[in-house]
Structure 1
Amino acid sequence: MSLSKGLKRKVDDENRVFREEWKESFAFILPGFKNAKLVCLICKEAVAVCKEYNIRRHHETKHGSFKVAYPLQTEAQKSKIEALAQGYAQSSRILLRGFTSQQRATSASLKASWLLARNNRPFTDAELFKEVMVSVLEELAVDKSMDGIIASVKQMPLSARSATRHIEALSDAVQGVVISDLTQANYFSLAIDESTDNTDVAQMCVFVRYFDGKLFREDLLALIPLEGHTTGDILFTELSKVFEWLSLSFEKYGAPAMVGRHRGLVSRLKELSPEMHGLHCLIHQSVLCAKLSGELKGVMDRVMRIINFVRGTSSTQHRLFRQLVADSEDATHDDLLLHNDVRWLSKGKALDRFCALLGEVKAFLMSSKNKAAADHLVFIQDEKFMSNVAFLADIFGHLNNLNLQLQGKGKTIMDMVEKLQSFTVKLGLLESDISTGRLLHFSTLKTQARQVTGLMVDFVKKIRASRLEDFSVPNEVIAFVLDPLTTRPSGELSSLVKTNVSSLDEAKFEMELIDFQTTSLVKDAFRSAESVSAFWVACSEEYSTIKNLAFYVLTMFPSTYMCESAFSSMNAIKTHERNRLTHKNLENCLRISVTTVTPDIRSIVANNRCQFSH
């Protein structure tokens, strides 16, 4: 068998040279430094191959509206190109200027501090990081050529104090980018939730979602410590202070706010911004638990007390239980799970584990001489009580599956609505399943109890009736953004849109929609788009009214997942060993840990006084 190998194509041999007319025609330039690539003056992206087809495709695909706003060979177009070129040249001077040794050491220190903060490491680890680098380099150095590198590493300012300052500078740079983008965005939405850190300080986490000109971002706006009671009025006062300090206006705050627990906060925000829609996080565990009736809530609380008794009374008792479980041939797990009120999935998982180890829990309580064990045993031996426990384990299992589907970064409001609508239909099936006693979807109840009560049926009905009660944006509007080509232009749709976005021109919306739906290029773009968001981002400004509505909806937070995730990072940062961490340092570390922004380290170095490590 013979194999043929094609000749490798060499782009350099094709004599491709940058043409000056490309600057005016496509807003591209070729920087003057070595190995430079073509750069788009509009978005600052680089194109690797110096070929007219490549830059024309980039310009027409990503900046199709530029020629509409600035027609070719007009004074407006020439002035705009020159302004973009001057801006690029000015920003490049900092990057091209050679760094001094002190600046290089500071730049390296900033990058090291950035990595430490991204991984939730303490400031003192910076010194350890430096020692590790020196030790490794000394071991790898086989000749004197490495001596200079080792000396440079030793000069890096990486004390705990230096790391603190560097992380503050990096955090300020990230926040500066976010605030700058917010001031230019048409809309932004907030996700707000409150929790306590490891020192029992209440912290209000505020995330912001906005379009930065290229994509939709979700970033930390503020972490606000709260003293005393955490009422809606107090949260509103603290949030207002942050907006004032950051020079942000609630007037742009037209997209809905996704909040966890505090309904009073939404009411106060609406007083300042009537355009705002408040969406309570429908999957937040505190909302779900609030729907429990008195009896079911009592069952839930009792199970949590039993778990806490087994695991939390003493370390000796916990070890004895674990040994009992280890000796059991039927045990499918090695321990019970403690619940956490902050975690969405916590109680559901704790209930499921409790039911899985029910035999071991019962045996342990029977062997215990503690009076509390005897009290708990009475409930476990009660058939009705255990039927309710099994039911709660099953229903929370279904709720947990929904929660898992909605978790993750980058989810849109359409994702949430689709999943909630699907779950509402499933609730109808669950209601029928438990009412008829088939219990196909209540496996724990079927295997451990089989006693179905009216209380269980009523609870499923209650959840089904209230799944979308707090969702104030019409489903028709969301359906339009999800699939704009199948929606018929009508006065009813434009009226619904106008109700939610008062600045929208109804007449223009209806006329644009007709053009939009009858244009073959739009249909092709919609079918080939990677996602709904990608389609609307690339949509031509010719349909600005429709696009404005889509951006309004796409700016909405689908849940408070970002806050939930941030609280996990917060507890990883402010551990019991770091309980003296100041609030400002905590916020700085958290911002770097969760941000999607990469700061310009060279600019930070250029604007700061740089010194070697002493």
Structure 2
Amino acid sequence: MVPSKLKRHLETKHPFHAERNLAYFKRARDLNQRQQDRLLDCVKVSEKAMEASYMLAELIAKQKKPHTIAETLILPACKIIAGVMLGPDAANELSKVPASDNTIKRRIDDMSEDIEQHLTEKLQASGRFSLQIDESTDISGAAQLLANVRYVDGDSIKETFFFCKEMASHTTGEEIFKVTDNYLKENNLCWSMCVSLCTDGAACMTGRVRGFIAKLCAEMGADHQSLILHTEVRWLSRGKVLSRFYELREELLEFSREHAVPHKDRLADESWCARLAYLADRFGHLHELNAKLQGRNENILSSTDKIRGFMGKLTLWREALEQGSMNMFPLASAAPQAASERAIYAEHLQTLKERFDRYFPRVADIEDNDWIRDPFNQESESSKEKLTMKEREEGAELRADRTLKLKFSELTLDQFWLVCASEYPTISHHAIDQLLHFPTTYLCELAFSTLVYMKNKTRSRLSVEQDLRVALSSVPPRIKKICAPRQAHVSH
């Protein structure tokens, strides 16, 4: 409707042209409204296109693909499919989604920044975390320092990618500490929040004076120059390599007769091949143990059980060898073996058992933490010595809490202790600190595999941290929050 004041004005000032003027105003008003509606529709389409652009960039990062794939493959493919299935108008709408190389890179950077900010907020709220740190070299020869973090998030323990920093100089313990310390300070985090550290046991990590762990301990003013846990050994997939080599030994022998192969005379030596079969079996068992220790949400308690189980098998295998049985080593048992060879294998297994005892000195003390696995059992003598009086008092109350006992079977171990935290804070805090430990460097190995895949010969200059964070983080980017403050522009 025409406003009454305007209608009276038109009738008073222009009595002979009132109707024409009113009609003109209505047409102008309707035209303006349609223009506003079209502009609003364009803005809405542009906002959707922006959101779709971020989702597309996230997908590309998760799949570890080059940024150009959006413009060269994904968008053209979507337009073809939409054109065939829905018609040309649908295909034209897809053209409004920004998908250039630079746009995808900016989107990934925005999401990485948001994930980093969100994770920092979670760590500050949690108040404690554990770190898993490792370093390696990328395709360009640059040393990369990778870190993952495990922390309390609501009613469970989470673990995720933390950072990836290119090392400016040699990978010494001092330099590793400097890079990590700077990152924590930049994000308003402090070392007092770090309850444990997991490394691969390299000299630059564990050196007594200049190693990274020593520098950490010095920063915190600790009395001891080692942390509660660090993994001192990593196994390669030698079992598979040796098994394949053993299975192809006859083909390799034939090949060596026509080509210069180092140590080719060994391939014709039955005794040497028999020992090779034993090593292939032995490393195959180590690879199996390594696989069991890997995976997300593994904790120090379950990992220690698996290591203890393997150490028990080493003793069992040695006893079986002494009795003449080799059933646990399928490749070696099929090869001709002398009694003297079995004695060598038995001695070797005993040496391996001793090495495991040295690599994992705290495995024997794992009973001290049985109260974490089963808090409703009566406390053991070892736990009495490890727990404070306040923790023992809360433990006694907790064992009498039948409501919690019913919940225990329904929840994971970390969820259970977090539920207990409000009523039994002291003993729950102790339990959660133990469950926060990283038992292996699995996540760092996973991140390095992703880094190698992303930063290859054709992408050797890629600054990889932002892509890694979006690809590996369990904290999702808040895309709607990222889009909200950005003004949407109509694509052209």
TM-score calculated relative to the size of structure 1:
0.67
- Matching residue of 1:461: 350
Counterpart-to-counterpart distance in 2, 1:460 and 1:493: 32
Q: Bigger shift: 547-556 or 385-394?
A: 385-394
Counterpart-to-counterpart distance in 2, 1:280 and 1:604: 38
Counterpart-to-counterpart distance in 2, 1:539 and 1:472: 27
Which residue of the other structure, out of 417, 429, 451, is the alignment partner of 2:316? 429
Counterpart-to-counterpart distance in 2, 1:205 and 1:133: 36
Say if 1:164 and 1:566 are closer, same or farther in 2 by CA, change over 3 A.
Answer: same
1:485 and 2:376 aligned: yes
Counterpart-to-counterpart distance in 2, 1:182 and 1:510: 29
**Superposition RMSD on alpha carbons, in Å?**
2.4
Q: Assess if the C-alpha contact under 8 Å between 1:489 and 1:513 holds in 2.
A: no
* 1:10-25 mapped onto 2 (5 Å cutoff): none
Provide the secondary structure at the position in 1 that maps to 2:179.
Answer: helix
> In the alignment, residue 425 of structure 1 is paired with which amino acid?
G
Q: CA deviation at 1:402?
A: 0.6
- Matching residue of 1:174: 115
- Matching residue of 2:77: 132
- Which structure's CA Rg is the greater one? 2
Counterpart-to-counterpart distance in 2, 1:612 and 1:458: 75
Counterpart-to-counterpart distance in 1, 2:440 and 2:249: 34
- Alpha-carbon displacement from aligned partner over 1:21-70 (angstroms, at most 9, x marks no partner): xxxxxxxxxxxxxxxxxxxxxxxxxxxxxxxxxxxxxxxxxxxxxxxxxx
Which residue of the other structure, out of 338, 347, 364, is the alignment partner of 2:255? 364
- Alpha-carbon displacement from aligned partner over 1:392-445 (angstroms, at most 9, x marks no partner): 211101111111111211222222011111111111112223344422212222
- Matching residue of 2:447: 566
Counterpart-to-counterpart distance in 1, 2:336 and 2:213: 43
- Alpha-carbon displacement from aligned partner over 1:494-517 (angstroms, at most 9, x marks no partner): 5424xxxxxxxx222111111111
Counterpart-to-counterpart distance in 1, 2:61 and 2:233: 30
Provide the secondary structure at the position in 2 that maps to 1:254.
Answer: strand
Say if 1:217 and 1:354 are closer, same or farther in 2 by CA, change over 3 A.
Answer: same
Q: CA deviation at 1:269?
A: 1.6
- Matching residue of 1:265: 212
Say if 1:489 and 1:446 are closer, same or farther in 2 by CA, change over 3 A.
Answer: closer
Q: CA deviation at 1:240?
A: 1.8
* 1:53-452 mapped onto 2 (5 Å cutoff): 100-127=44-71, 128-142=73-87, 147=89, 149-227=90-168, 229-261=170-202, 262-263=205-206, 264-273=211-220, 274=222, 277-282=227-232, 284-285=234-235, 344-345=236-237, 347-368=238-259, 370=260, 373=261, 375-451=262-338, 452=341
Counterpart-to-counterpart distance in 1, 2:70 and 2:468: 17
Q: CA deviation at 1:212?
A: 1.1
Say if 1:488 and 1:132 are closer, same or farther in 2 by CA, change over 3 A.
Answer: same
Counterpart-to-counterpart distance in 2, 1:422 and 1:282: 18
- Matching residue of 2:391: 509
Q: Assess if the C-alpha contact under 8 Å between 2:57 and 2:108 holds in 1.
A: yes
Counterpart-to-counterpart distance in 2, 1:349 and 1:151: 52
Say if 1:603 and 1:231 are closer, same or farther in 2 by CA, change over 3 A.
Answer: same
Q: Assess if the C-alpha contact under 8 Å between 1:279 and 1:471 holds in 2.
A: no
Q: CA deviation at 1:222?
A: 0.9
Q: CA deviation at 1:239?
A: 1.7
Q: Bigger shift: 545-554 or 406-415?
A: 406-415
- Alpha-carbon displacement from aligned partner over 1:354-377 (angstroms, at most 9, x marks no partner): 111111111111232x3xx2x321
Higher RCO, 1 or 2 (CA under 8 Å, sep at least 6)? 2
Q: Assess if the C-alpha contact under 8 Å between 2:198 and 2:231 holds in 1.
A: no
Provide the secondary structure at the position in 2 that maps to 1:510.
Answer: helix
Q: CA deviation at 1:608?
A: 2.7
Counterpart-to-counterpart distance in 2, 1:99 and 1:209: 41
Say if 1:215 and 1:414 are closer, same or farther in 2 by CA, change over 3 A.
Answer: same
> In the alignment, residue 177 of structure 2 is paired with which amino acid?
F
Consecutive unaligned residues of structure 1, counting only runs of 5 or more, are 1-97, 286-343, 498-505
> In the alignment, residue 271 of structure 1 is paired with which amino acid?
A
Q: Assess if the C-alpha contact under 8 Å between 1:570 and 1:590 holds in 2.
A: yes
Q: Assess if the C-alpha contact under 8 Å between 1:258 and 1:278 holds in 2.
A: no
Q: CA deviation at 1:110?
A: 0.3
Q: CA deviation at 1:109?
A: 0.3
Q: Bigger shift: 120-129 or 448-457?
A: 448-457
Provide the secondary structure at the position in 1 that maps to 2:423.
Answer: helix
Q: CA deviation at 1:462?
A: 2.9
Counterpart-to-counterpart distance in 1, 2:482 and 2:248: 56
The alignment of Structure 1 onto Structure 2 pairs a total of residues equal to: 437
- Alpha-carbon displacement from aligned partner over 1:108-149 (angstroms, at most 9, x marks no partner): 10011001111101100111322222222122234xxx62x4
Q: Assess if the C-alpha contact under 8 Å between 1:536 and 1:547 holds in 2.
A: yes
> In the alignment, residue 74 of structure 2 is paired with which amino acid?
F
Consecutive unaligned residues of structure 2, counting only runs of 5 or more, are 1-41
Provide the secondary structure at the position in 2 that maps to 1:279.
Answer: coil
Q: Assess if the C-alpha contact under 8 Å between 2:200 and 2:232 holds in 1.
A: no
Provide the secondary structure at the position in 2 that maps to 1:542.
Answer: coil
Q: Bigger shift: 435-444 or 174-183?
A: 435-444
1:581 and 2:462 aligned: yes
Counterpart-to-counterpart distance in 2, 1:385 and 1:559: 34
Which residue of the other structure, out of 519, 531, 549, is the alignment partner of 2:430? 549
Say if 1:535 and 1:181 are closer, same or farther in 2 by CA, change over 3 A.
Answer: same
- Matching residue of 2:403: 521
Q: Assess if the C-alpha contact under 8 Å between 1:220 and 1:595 holds in 2.
A: yes
Provide the secondary structure at the position in 2 that maps to 1:129.
Answer: helix
Say if 1:521 and 1:214 are closer, same or farther in 2 by CA, change over 3 A.
Answer: closer
Q: Assess if the C-alpha contact under 8 Å between 1:386 and 1:449 holds in 2.
A: no
Q: Assess if the C-alpha contact under 8 Å between 2:196 and 2:229 holds in 1.
A: no
> In the alignment, residue 101 of structure 2 is paired with which amino acid?
A
Q: Assess if the C-alpha contact under 8 Å between 2:369 and 2:383 holds in 1.
A: no
Counterpart-to-counterpart distance in 1, 2:462 and 2:376: 53
- Matching residue of 1:605: 483
Counterpart-to-counterpart distance in 1, 2:361 and 2:102: 47
- Matching residue of 1:531: 412
Q: CA deviation at 1:227?
A: 4.7
Q: Bigger shift: 531-540 or 568-577?
A: 531-540
- Alpha-carbon displacement from aligned partner over 1:212-231 (angstroms, at most 9, x marks no partner): 11321111111122355323
Provide the secondary structure at the position in 1 that maps to 2:174.
Answer: helix
TM-score calculated relative to the size of structure 2:
0.82
Provide the secondary structure at the position in 2 that maps to 1:557.
Answer: coil
- Alpha-carbon displacement from aligned partner over 1:248-277 (angstroms, at most 9, x marks no partner): 211111234344533222222222233872
> In the alignment, residue 460 of structure 1 is paired with which amino acid?
L
